[in-house]
Structure 1
Amino acid sequence: MNPILGLQLLVVAAGAIGVAAIARRRGWPAPLLLVAAGLLVSPLIPPVPLQPELVLFVFLPPLLYSAAFDSSYLRLRDVRRSVTLLSVGLVLFTTAVVGWVVHLLLPDLHLALAFALGAIIAPPDAVAAVAVGRRLGLPRRSLTILIGESLFNDATALTAYRVAIGAAVGGTVSLLDSIGQFLFAAVGGVAIGLALAFAFAWLFQHTRDSLVENTLMLLIPFAAYLAAESVHASGVIAVVIVGLHLGNSMHLRGFGTRLVSGAVWKVTDFFLEAIVFALIGLQLVTVIRGISGYRPWEVAGYAAAVLGVTIVSRFVWVFATYLLKLLSKGDSQPTVPQTVILGWAGMRGVVSLAAAFAIPPEVPERDRAMLLFLTFTTVIGTLLIQGMTFPSLIKRLGVSSEQEQYEDRLAEAAAQQAALEAGLAELERLVAEVGEPDEIQKQVIDQLREKSWRRSLTAWERLGGGTGPGGAETPSALYRRLRREMLQAERRLFVRLRDERRLDDEVLRKVMAELDFEEAILER
């Protein structure tokens, strides 16, 4: 890598992390603030190139894998019809509508390039929408649909993009060939994903080492993506399939693997998402320079038209499928407010920009510049217009998951009660096998019973929001507060002993880790 480019990326990463940290502290949506910051500083710094290979082969696989790994296979299966309609149907519909409109606006542009632009801007990136939706309590079904759409729509869009670019550069491509390429990419991606998923699952059964397993997990998305792309199958689908399978079987791994995995992927997501959204805004100067030969009002009109068509086409498709669902018989019917929110959650992301930058040099430079400009304005427009108004729209429509949250707490309390009874029954069986316990054994048994009781009590107290009658502190809340203060006092003592050279640093790290785990349990 060019040292200058490496230094630029390092500076971008540091700045992006700082902006994301401010967003987290203020409770603002980090993706939107990162894009805005990138737009503001772009004219003030040397251009930072967005390399398609960096996005598609370095950033995209781990982000897809992490999202799939954390997703619920069972919930995705419940909404598979909606996800398919959005990730396949809506992408192809948007590709066709946008391509047709662009062809009318720019008749000199090759028709295949017009449809390539449609494929480029067709797939939304749900990162910003999901982040806002989770913070504001969007219903679980809506979040699942958005996540499922974002997991699979890139595969459809990138396949359609390759077909369109191939037609523009290499000549005519028949409809039958296009369908064949799409089916091969999809089926090949699923097959490779399943094969790797079973292979890695077998490997994990024989490692039983949390450090080794999590290190392998960092390599899995790249291995799946490259394996699929090397045979022209869908790397996106392969990564998603592996992530869903391994995430669904995570309960088979050891507790250490699960604890480390959560921390590893939180850091990875935070780091990569901060960089990619900052890179979007930083492309402003590069994009503007490319269209210097056009009249400003002319390109502004093109950009507004494409942005408007992109937004409207999603609404048309979402409400058309909503009407079809109303006519069909199903247990879960969407509401109008939920459908409006789903239609407005069409923010585009870095994959669209990467695809635009990857347009081959065989395409005339003037056409490439126009396609890149229209992609950039659509991405920025959807992120700022829809992203900035998305929180207020959720609040105004009154869409909430309060009932789901209450039902979750109730189900957890019931499950904790059942688990308590099962655990205590097993404890009594073990005590009966041992016989009459001595005094020390009695104390240990009593402590186990008390701990089980406290866990069950905490779950039931959550139904009341963590407070007792009259807003008084519940026994569990009081226990957690006092124990936290005790842990702080213990930490201060350990540090003082270390400073006095009465305790080695290695011992200090060990006892601190034990206290940290206990506090993590209290936080849970």
Structure 2
Amino acid sequence: MALFESTLILLLVAVLLLQLSRRFSVPYPTILCLSGVAVAALPWAPDIPAPDITLDPQLALALFVAPALVDVAYDTPFSALRRNWAPLLALAAVAVILTTAAVAWVGIALAGLPIAAAIAMGAIVAPPDAAAAAAMLGRFALPRRTVTVLQGESLLNDAVALLIFSAAVAVQSGMAGGAIPENLLPQLALAVPGGLLVGVLVGRIYGLLAPRLAGTLSGTIFEFLTTFGTWVIAERLHFSAILATVAFAMTVAQSAPERQPPRDRVHSYSVWEAVVFLLNVLAFLLMGLQARAIIGRLEGDRFWQAAGVAAAVFLAVVVVRVVWVLAYNRAAAFVVRRQGGHDGPTVGQGLVVGWCGMRGLVTLATAQALPASFPERDLIVLCAFAVLLGTLVVQGLTLGPLIVRLRFPPDDSFDRELSAARIALIDAAIAALEAHDDEAARAQLDSLQEARAATAAGQHPREVSESDRLKRDMIAVKRRRLAEMRRAGTIDEDVFHALEQELDWSELASSPPERLQLVEG
């Protein structure tokens, strides 16, 4: 009950402080982190015993990471990952490995951690949470490719970090038990392809069954079942659960927009956004309470030694990312110039990407997933919380001013592509309308008379309105044309989703009320 009460307090604090987030352009994860610290530091905050604030390791990862991954992966097409493979490899793989190595060195040199435990700590704090950066980047005009790379990074770096984390924990546990598992290397070799295969298969099964649940609350529940089911199946088979979840979401995203009614899509987006937000609140609260308990157990020199290690880990995390990103940025610009190109990455873009290193939900979840008997678990959790707090506050509060200071030239490619795609949809609707031999397009008076007669007869006007029927027919034509443009690759995913949302609201506005209701079964 005490944990539930603290969660309610944090929700209230978060709701109040999020008003400041919108007003002063502060990323909401920064507000949540500060809220978690504030609630955990309250004098009357409950002193909850350690077992009551520690989740089962596998549950922590599945509960916190899976929904957040689906939320991001659904909007990230494979084509964007393929098109930006070089910077994604540099950020999602090399940067994570370098950060893990640097933090592991700090853990060994300053805290005397075992090698495997130090690597586990490095993997916990290595992957930045691009969702935290996206909360800020969406408020500024940045080059689209920069935003796309940051979004794709959050999908892939989590998988790399979790593979390293799982291997390090397995090795450390094996050393504690006297032997390292013999099948560890084969499992790691199969983790990536096996995870991708599981995700694609479950995504195909979802695509076959989901249309049967359209218009029902069961459809939303089925989304959660398949999301967590994908994670659990991959875990049971010792595959990468993160890559399985990403593959599942990207597979569903390829077919769902053409099959899912707009009512279901609007409802689904709202539910998922609320769930991810609530999980963020719970994760930050659990971490804050754990940090409070850990600090309470550290006395005198032990506290200052732990604080020094945490500060060194924070500096290593920030410095390694900035230095590596700028080095890669200049190397990529040199290669582009040698090839005769003129659109290579700028120093400003490198600074923004390097400074977008805020840690978030994955770091929280992996820290929670450490076994209770893990060596120096308190120190590792405290370092993870220090990195979270430091990056979210220091980088989160300075990212906006940095972007303003760099004065990026306006990137109007999204607006131009959006306008061109919208014109193509209108042309498709006009062509279909010209094929009609009725006069519905110019019979506004008739439609008003129909609406009046329907109302007098106890019917909703949209049920019998020829004008609304025609609108829905034209929207269906536009949807088919939009899907064709997406499959042909003539528009990017962000343009597709923007136009999809426009069509959803237009269709809902022209539909009778019974089409807007969800039923339970």
2:27 pairs, out of 26, 29, 34, with 29
Q: 1:5 to 1:326 in 2, by over 3 A?
A: same
Q: 1:20 to 1:50 in 2, by over 3 A?
A: farther
Say whether residues 1:160 and 2:164 are aligned partners: yes
Q: 1:399 to 1:288 in 2, by over 3 A?
A: farther
Task: Check whether the contact 2:75–2:253 (CA below 8 A) recurs between aligned residues.
Answer: yes
Q: Which residue of 1 aligns with 2:345?
A: 334
Larger deviation, residues 174-183 vs 198-207 = 174-183
Say whether residues 1:80 and 2:91 are aligned partners: no
1:315 pairs, out of 319, 322, 329, with 322
CA distance in 2, matches of 1:251, 1:512: 18
1:97 pairs, out of 102, 106, 111, with 102
Q: Which residue of 2 aligns with 1:415?
A: 421
2:359 pairs, out of 344, 348, 357, with 348
What amino acid is aligned across from residue 46 of structure 2 in structure 1? P
3-state SS of paired residue (1:81): helix
3-state SS of paired residue (1:199): helix
3-state SS of paired residue (1:248): helix
Aligned length: 450
Q: 1:426 to 1:228 in 2, by over 3 A?
A: same
Task: Check whether the contact 1:20–1:30 (CA below 8 A) recurs between aligned residues.
Answer: yes
CA distance in 1, matches of 2:192, 2:202: 16
CA distance in 2, matches of 1:415, 1:12: 43
What amino acid is aligned across from residue 60 of structure 1 in structure 2? V
Say whether residues 1:294 and 2:292 are aligned partners: no
3-state SS of paired residue (2:232): helix
Say whether residues 1:69 and 2:70 are aligned partners: no
Q: Deviations over 1:401-432 (max 9, x none)?
A: x323xx33333333333332322222221217
5 Å matches for 1:13-24? 13-21=11-19, 23-24=21-22
Q: Which residue of 2 aligns with 1:390?
A: 399
3-state SS of paired residue (2:74): helix
2:151 pairs, out of 142, 147, 164, with 147
Task: Check whether the contact 2:192–2:240 (CA below 8 A) recurs between aligned residues.
Answer: yes
What amino acid is aligned across from residue 39 of structure 1 in structure 2? V
Q: Deviations over 1:186-233 (max 9, x none)?
A: 112101101101111121344444544333212222111111111121
What amino acid is aligned across from residue 341 of structure 1 in structure 2? V
CA distance in 1, matches of 2:86, 2:68: 24
How far does residue 22 in structure 1 lie from its aligned partner after superposition? 5.0
Q: 1:397 to 1:173 in 2, by over 3 A?
A: farther
3-state SS of paired residue (2:370): coil
CA RMSD of aligned residues (A): 3.6
Task: Check whether the contact 1:86–1:149 (CA below 8 A) recurs between aligned residues.
Answer: yes
3-state SS of paired residue (2:138): helix
- Which structure is larger by alpha-carbon Rg, 1 or 2? 1
CA distance in 1, matches of 2:310, 2:99: 16
How far does residue 146 in structure 1 lie from its aligned partner after superposition? 1.4
Task: Check whether the contact 2:99–2:317 (CA below 8 A) recurs between aligned residues.
Answer: yes
1:127 pairs, out of 127, 131, 134, with 131
How far does residue 302 in structure 1 lie from its aligned partner after superposition? 2.0
Q: Deviations over 1:220-275 (max 9, x none)?
A: 22111111111121111111111112123232122332232222223223333333
Q: 1:295 to 1:262 in 2, by over 3 A?
A: closer
1:426 pairs, out of 419, 429, 432, with 432
CA distance in 1, matches of 2:448, 2:11: 56
CA distance in 1, matches of 2:346, 2:182: 38
5 Å matches for 1:185-196? 185-196=191-202
Task: Check whether the contact 2:280–2:361 (CA below 8 A) recurs between aligned residues.
Answer: no
Q: Which residue of 2 aligns with 1:46?
A: 46
CA distance in 1, matches of 2:253, 2:81: 13
CA distance in 1, matches of 2:165, 2:78: 28
Larger deviation, residues 188-197 vs 242-251 = 242-251
5 Å matches for 1:261-272? 261-272=268-279
Q: Deviations over 1:33-67 (max 9, x none)?
A: 22112222322212462535553122221111111
CA distance in 2, matches of 1:162, 1:432: 66
1:213 pairs, out of 211, 219, 237, with 219
Task: Check whether the contact 1:318–1:339 (CA below 8 A) recurs between aligned residues.
Answer: yes
What amino acid is aligned across from residue 368 of structure 1 in structure 2? R
3-state SS of paired residue (2:436): helix
Q: Which residue of 1 aligns with 2:453?
A: none
How far does residue 128 in structure 1 lie from its aligned partner after superposition? 1.9
TM-score (normalised: structure 2): 0.76
CA distance in 2, matches of 1:266, 1:186: 28
Task: Check whether the contact 2:76–2:250 (CA below 8 A) recurs between aligned residues.
Answer: yes
How far does residue 343 in structure 1 lie from its aligned partner after superposition? 0.7
Say whether residues 1:325 and 2:332 are aligned partners: yes
Q: 1:429 to 1:445 in 2, by over 3 A?
A: farther
How far does residue 177 in structure 1 lie from its aligned partner after superposition? 7.0
What amino acid is aligned across from residue 124 of structure 1 in structure 2? P
CA distance in 1, matches of 2:186, 2:241: 17
Q: Which residue of 2 aligns with 1:473?
A: none
Q: 1:70 to 1:308 in 2, by over 3 A?
A: same
Q: Which residue of 2 aligns with 1:505?
A: none
Q: 1:143 to 1:230 in 2, by over 3 A?
A: same
What amino acid is aligned across from residue 367 of structure 2 in structure 1? A
Task: Check whether the contact 2:444–2:467 (CA below 8 A) recurs between aligned residues.
Answer: no
How far does residue 284 in structure 1 lie from its aligned partner after superposition? 3.5
TM-score (normalised: structure 1): 0.76
CA distance in 1, matches of 2:333, 2:444: 67
Q: 1:47 to 1:382 in 2, by over 3 A?
A: farther
What amino acid is aligned across from residue 120 of structure 2 in structure 1? A
3-state SS of paired residue (2:26): coil
Q: Deviations over 1:89-140 (max 9, x none)?
A: 211121112212321223x321221222111111111222110011123322
CA distance in 2, matches of 1:58, 1:123: 18
Q: Which residue of 1 aligns with 2:374?
A: 363
How far does residue 342 in structure 1 lie from its aligned partner after superposition? 0.7
Task: Check whether the contact 1:65–1:239 (CA below 8 A) recurs between aligned residues.
Answer: yes
Task: Check whether the contact 2:73–2:246 (CA below 8 A) recurs between aligned residues.
Answer: yes
Q: 1:41 to 1:84 in 2, by over 3 A?
A: same
1:239 pairs, out of 245, 269, 283, with 245
What amino acid is aligned across from residue 188 of structure 1 in structure 2? G
CA distance in 2, matches of 1:324, 1:174: 40
